[in-house]
Structure formats: C-alpha cells, structure tokens
Amino acid sequence: MSLLKRLSESPDERPDAVRVSGTALSGVELLRCATAVADRVHGLDRVAIEATPTMETVVGVVGALLAGVAVVPVPADAGAMERAHMFRDSGAAALLAPKGAGEAEGSGPPVVPVDLALRSDRTRPEPDPERAALILYTSGTTGAPKGVVISRRSIAACLDALADAWAWTPDDLLVHGLPLFHVHGLVLGVLGPLRHGSRLDHVGRPQPARYAAAGGTMYFGVPTVWSRVAAAPESARALRGARLLVSGSAALPAAVFADLAELTGHRIVERYGMTETLITVSARADGPRLPGTVGVRLPGVRTRLVDERGGPVPADGEAMGELLVAGPTLFSGYLNRPDADAASTTGDGWFRTGDVATIGPDGSHRIVGRASTDLIKSGGYRIGAGEIEDALLAHPGVREAAVIGVPDPDLGQRVTAYVVADGVTGPDLIEFVARNLAVHKRPRAVHLLDALPRNALGKVQKKLLGQGARRDDATETSH
C-alpha cells in the first residue's frame, strides 16, 4: 500500500482538496505537481526543505516521498547555527525551496526550486516501507538537536491507528495552522489527510479567528493554541459545528478543557506522543475524554511503567513511573548517534520516553511530568536547556549560563535564562539566541546574576534559580 494511499491511488478531484495559507490544489494537481519534484530529486538519499507554511512545502515533501527520498524539514525560523548543524549532520544533497525564494545566506546544499507551475505524470513504484521518510531534528537535554529517523512504515502505522481512534475519513476537513517541521503539523497534519483522503485547510498560523473561519470537521492544536481559542469566545463558538477537536504536544490545562467544553460543546480529545515514537496514546472519538488524561494505547502500541532501576510499576492509576513504549510507530534510530540510541532504548524494543506517567486499570494514561527538568515544552515546542545554554555561552560576553522552564499561562513553560555576563544586556542575548537557533527557542526572560548557585561539586543547582539574589532586573520579552 502506498504511504500516501488516497493521494497516490485515488486523488481527490475537488479543487480545494488541499489548501495551505490560501493556495488550493486538487489532489490530482497536487500529485502531478509533486511528481515533477520527484523527477528532480529521484535517486538522492536525503533532501532538506525550507519548511515554511506554504503549498511549496507540501509539494516538496510529497515529491520527495513519492521518489523514496528522505526529507529533512528545516524550521522556517531556524537560525544560522541550527541550519548549519542540520545540513552538516544530515548530509542532505539538496535543499528544496519555493521557486524564486533565493537561498538564505550561509552555505547550504544546492537549491532545487519547487515550482507550482510544473507538472509530471510519470509513475514510479512504491518505495520500500523500511526506507526513511523523514529526519526530524529534535532537542535532547544537552547538545545540538539529534536527527530522528522515521520510516515510511512507522508513519503509515501511526496514521492508520489514528484513523481508527478518531474515525478519520475522506468526509473530514482537517483544519490547523501548525508548523510543518514537526510530527504534529507535518505527519498528522499533512500526511494524514493525504493518506486518508480528507481535505486539508492549513490556515498559515494557528490563530483563533482563522480556525473559526475555516469551517472544519476536525481541528488540531497545541495547548497554547487551544488556550488562545478559549480566550476568544466568538471564535471558539464557531467550532461548535466541528466533529472533533484534538490537542497534543504538551499537557492541556484542565481549565482550558472546561472552557472549551462550554464554548464549543466539545470535550477535547487529547493524545500523547513524541517525535521518536509518533503518537502512541490517545482518547478515542467513541471513548471517554477526561481532563488530565491522554487516553488509551493506540492499536498495536504497548506501554508500561518502570521505576528508577527499571523495575515494574503497577498500572493502578496511582503509582508513577517512567513511561516506556513499544510498537510499530517507533523511529528507526538517531542519525549518526549510536550512543543516543543505546541510552534511549532498553535493548528489547522499548523506548524510554523520559515522561513520568500513571496508567489506570482501564488503560487510561496520565502524563504527570518529565524525569528531567532540562527538556522544556514551550508553546508545544520541545527545547533542550543544554542547547540554549550552549548558544548563550557562544556569546563572547557570557561567562556562565543556566536555562530552565518557568510555568507560563500561555506557553505552558517559558524559556528563562540565568547568566553571568559582562557588558551585555538581556535583550542582546535574546536576540543572539533567536538569530543563531530558532526564534521560538529564544529565552523569554534573561536574569543577570553575579554567580550561578552551585553545590559543593560545582554543579549548578537549577532548583535554586529564581530564588537567589539578582544583580539587576530581568529582561522580559513581550510574549
């Protein structure tokens, strides 16, 4: 079966089958357009793509997938350091970018333009399902982001399991505005509709008014998006006609769940996953949806809890343990990082999520927190404290840096930096990180200290940050 089953086998003739930031194509035309890209990249191993929220990104990704070429999405707001790392580490042979966009400065691979005016009707055999479909860069607690290699088979397994859980059919119109460089927006939000044959309206940015105007049956958002929808009652009420509202990528606050239930008439469906595992647990369209729980295992997925020594923790709904997952949706490994592969798996097929959870006797999962405070979730983005600390330390004025996530009503957590520095201001450092990494990874607040709190062994005591003396006032950004 083709990865993009419906698109490849019975493409939608409706002229607005796929709409991205206002540009619409029928499935038939999308397939022909993407085939022209496939003709250009066929034979390559991997290509990078400028993952802007545009039709060109969708066409480029689909074209590469048709040709069996793995795609490395480059975040639209990625800075110089991050781009250089992704190009070097992935070894991408080409960079797909909208025709006429011109390459951003820096020495990336040769640009292959995606031209929406080109068409091709060539057909090619379905690539081996074990081949890599995507390499997604994602943060760990330390160091530069790692490339998560995701096979075509894993994506197909995840999307089919979600179709079962959410009763996702060609009659649906999926609406969202999530970034196209992560699992949520790209795999679920683009490849999902193309596999299952539903229409897609990607509204560019996940703004409440745009969601309201789109008239979808199914909506995706991260908790920050849903909290903003709940704060815009008129837009929220416009979602009453939908079939399913889905939240994921971070914990949905119970108050947002309750507000949305009142305004939209929908109990939001929560689901849980990771870049490395894709989506593994979800509330079902035909099942209970309880605030604070993320639902039950998807078909084919196994989960269990372990204590700090790897011993079993009972699934009694009370006992907490680290959540391990196994099954057909798991990634193939980290690119060039056998050390990270070994550290993240048990050796017998279980992936260590690093999330602390409970599992009830009814199979319902509750995510309680993370084992490490060094992975921050802000606006649904996963941000490694170590990566931001390294970026801050690359500034010549910075002597020491420690980064934590501070609770934030809008973003879930707010990236907050504590630095010891000379002759540099908080805004300088925020700008420095935004330019070198990605805008969404920038600290939202920088506190300048005389020294970082350390224990007798010299290790920074992050728990004390925020409580200690400050050398001067914090710099808070407007967000």
Please tell me whether residue 112 binds ligand AMP under the rule CB under 6 A: no
Tokens linked to 275: 């870049």
In whole angstroms, how close is the CB of 82 to ligand AMP at the nearest point? Answer: 15
- Cβ(395)–Cβ(422) below 8 Å: no
- Cβ(66)–Cβ(39) below 8 Å: no
Phi, psi values for residue 315, rounded to 5°: -90, 70
The residue from 54, 227, 275, 364 that contacts ligand AMP (CB under 6 A) is: 275
Please tell me whether residue 358 binds ligand AMP under the rule CB under 6 A: no
In whole angstroms, how close is the CB of 283 to ligand MCA at the nearest point? Answer: 13
HEC-encoded secondary structure of 243-309: CEEEECCCCCCHHHHHHHHHHHCCCCEEEEEECCCEEEEECCCCCCCCCCCCEEECCCCEEEEECCC
Using CB under 6 A, which of the segments 146-154, 179-187, 363-371, 452-460 binds ligand MCA? 179-187
Indicate which of ligand AMP, ligand MCA, none lies near residue 9 (CB less than 5 to 8 Å, by partner kind).
none
Place of tokens 């990180």: 433
Indicate which of ligand MCA, ligand AMP, none lies near residue 130 (CB less than 5 to 8 Å, by partner kind).
none
Please tell me whether residue 355 binds ligand AMP under the rule CB under 6 A: yes
Please tell me whether residue 434 binds ligand MCA under the rule CB under 6 A: yes
Give the sign of the dihedral formed by CA 20, CA 22, CA 26, CA 30. Answer: negative
- Cα 411 from Cα 443, distance rounded (Å): 12
Using CB under 6 A, which of the segments 57-65, 269-277, 325-333, 414-422 binds ligand MCA? 269-277
**Size of the residue set binding ligand AMP (CB under 6 A):** 18
In whole angstroms, how close is the CB of 272 to ligand AMP at the nearest point? Answer: 4
The b-or-e profile of 67-79 (16+ CB within 10 A means b, else e) is: bbbbbbbbbbbbb
In whole angstroms, how close is the CB of 248 to ligand MCA at the nearest point? Answer: 4
Give CA angle at 172 (119, 182), nearest 5°: 65
Angle between helices 55-66 and 27-41 (to 10 degrees): 60
In whole angstroms, how close is the CB of 371 to ligand AMP at the nearest point? Answer: 10
- Cα 10 from Cα 4, distance rounded (Å): 10
Indicate which of ligand AMP, ligand MCA, none lies near residue 251 (CB less than 5 to 8 Å, by partner kind).
ligand AMP
Q: Which of residues 118-157 bind ligand AMP (CB under 6 A)?
A: 138
Indicate which of ligand MCA, ligand AMP, none lies near residue 377 (CB less than 5 to 8 Å, by partner kind).
ligand AMP
- Cα 226 from Cα 247, distance rounded (Å): 8
In whole angstroms, how close is the CB of 241 to ligand AMP at the nearest point? Answer: 25
Helix (H) or strand (E) run with residue 155 in it: helix 152-166
- Binding interface with ligand MCA (CB under 6 A): 178-179, 182-185, 206, 222, 224-225, 248-249, 273-275, 379-381, 430-431, 434, 439-440, 442, 479
- Binding interface with ligand AMP (CB under 6 A): 138, 183, 248-251, 270, 272-275, 294, 353, 355, 367, 370, 377, 382
